[in-house]
Amino acid sequence: MKKILVLIPAEEPHKKKLEAAAPGCEFIYSSTQDATPEMVQEANVIIGLPKAADIQASGNLELLQLSSAGADSYIKPGVLGEKTILTNATGAYGKAVAEHAFALTMMLIKKLYLYRDEQKKRSWTDHGTVTSLSNATVVVVGLGDIGTTYARLVKAMGATVIGVKRRASIPPSCVDEIVLTEDLDQVLPRADIVMSVLPGTAETTHLFTLERFKMMKDSAYFVNVGRGSVVASDVLYQALSEHLITAAGVDVTDPEPLPADSPLWALDNLVITPHVSGWYHLRETLEGIVDIAAGNLARLMAGEEPENIVDFATGYKK
């Protein structure tokens, strides 16, 4: 009998779905905060985000089904044992995170962030011209589920969409052109908007250097809903304070939480949200995570390969 530790906020319908996928197993329901190291060590399956330090390459753990798309903390050497399969929740976050990125985009190009500041000052001030997604060139860096969903939204508004990926592929209908990550520098000068939804890996850390911001138009906008580590805070501050680009909107920072004394807070051309685009803020996200977890539980019980297996070398879904 397998021990299955569930660390997501499962309600009764969710519990029934999970338990139906693995009949005869022992289910323990807890949370990331409340799960003890002993509970983590004894589990054969974990659904959610256990503390990485508690796993200690457990020999009991057969499957770690993350409730996140990012796997940063779990692909580090020594966290998981060789026999542990790591799967993520790719597919559950597309709508929530893409819509948040789209909202940030519209907030920036219509200068709504400036008008919110004026409202707080009770100031009736006109900030002049705005731009449109119609005929804008949008570069989406990271064309997975979230990136493709975002591309679909901006394409519907009339944008030309360039997707940036690690591997070449046929563009989906919402993408006009695909380039490889190593060719990013070729498309940055063309971008009116750059949206990053990259995971945090060795390859993506500080990908957006000051030199790359200098390649962009000074009228361009930068949106980041992937991982804050793709751009160093001092680089982002310099790019915005020196007006290398017009403005940025980020849902992620490095570090998180962003310290109260960070100079980023004071920038009037930066919109910061506290990593809230995903998680369970949209109800459909939790439903999607439960569906993915239940499906992978059933596959594990049947001796089949789970879906959404994470490649330890890249941090992405294989």
The verdict on 27 and 110 lying in the same domain is: no
Strand order in the sheet with 270-272: 177-180, 160-165, 137-141, 193-196, 221-224, 247-250, 270-272
In a domain, 45, yes or no: yes
In a domain, 248, yes or no: yes
Contact 40, 64 (CB under 8 A): no
Contact 184, 212 (CB under 8 A): yes
The verdict on 53 and 133 lying in the same domain is: no
In a domain, 307, yes or no: no
pLDDT of residue 42: 98
Measured CA to CA, the distance from residue 92 to residue 68 in angstroms comes to 9
The verdict on 236 and 171 lying in the same domain is: yes
Range of the domain at 232: 94-272
The verdict on 110 and 83 lying in the same domain is: no
Contact 150, 197 (CB under 8 A): yes
In a domain, 66, yes or no: yes
**Structural domain count of the chain:** 2
The verdict on 139 and 213 lying in the same domain is: yes
pLDDT of residue 41: 97
Measured CA to CA, the distance from residue 142 to residue 294 in angstroms comes to 27
The verdict on 247 and 187 lying in the same domain is: yes
Counting Cα atoms < 13 Å in the Cβ hemisphere of 210 gives: 10
Backbone CA torsion sign across 257, 249, 201, 317: positive
Residues 6+ apart with CB under 8 A from 176: 160, 161, 162
Q: Write out the two tokens for 215.
A: 């390649």
The verdict on 81 and 159 lying in the same domain is: no
The verdict on 108 and 18 lying in the same domain is: no
Q: Write out the two tokens for 53.
A: 């330090």
In a domain, 231, yes or no: yes
The verdict on 35 and 52 lying in the same domain is: yes
- b/e map 94-124, b = 16+ CB within 10 Å: bbbbbbbbbbbbbbbbebbbbeeeeeeeeee
The verdict on 103 and 83 lying in the same domain is: no
Measured CA to CA, the distance from residue 217 to residue 219 in angstroms comes to 5
Position 29, amino acid: Y
Q: Write out the two tokens for 67.
A: 């409730």
Contact 222, 245 (CB under 8 A): yes
In a domain, 288, yes or no: yes
Strand order in the sheet with 45-47: 26-29, 3-6, 45-47, 63-65, 85-87
The verdict on 75 and 224 lying in the same domain is: no
Residues 6+ apart with CB under 8 A from 88: 66, 68, 69, 70, 71, 308, 310, 317
Measured CA to CA, the distance from residue 102 to residue 293 in angstroms comes to 28
The verdict on 79 and 219 lying in the same domain is: no
Task: Report the predicted TM-score, pTM, of the whole model to 2 decimal places.
Answer: 0.94
Which domain CATH number covers 47?
A: 3.40.50.720
Residues 6+ apart with CB under 8 A from 69: 88, 89, 90, 92, 93, 144, 145, 146, 199, 278
pLDDT tens for the 318 residues of the chain, in order: 899 999 999 999 999 999 999 999 999 999 999 999 999 999 999 999 999 999 999 999 999 999 999 898 999 999 999 999 999 999 999 999 999 999 999 999 999 999 999 999 999 999 999 999 999 999 999 999 999 999 999 999 999 999 999 988 999 999 999 999 999 999 999 999 999 999 988 899 999 999 999 999 999 999 999 999 999 999 999 999 999 999 999 999 999 999 999 999 999 999 999 999 999 999 999 999 999 999 999 999 999 999 999 998 778 888
Measured CA to CA, the distance from residue 111 to residue 240 in angstroms comes to 15
Count CB neighbours of 228 within 10 A: 19
In a domain, 198, yes or no: yes
pLDDT of residue 316: 80
In a domain, 211, yes or no: yes
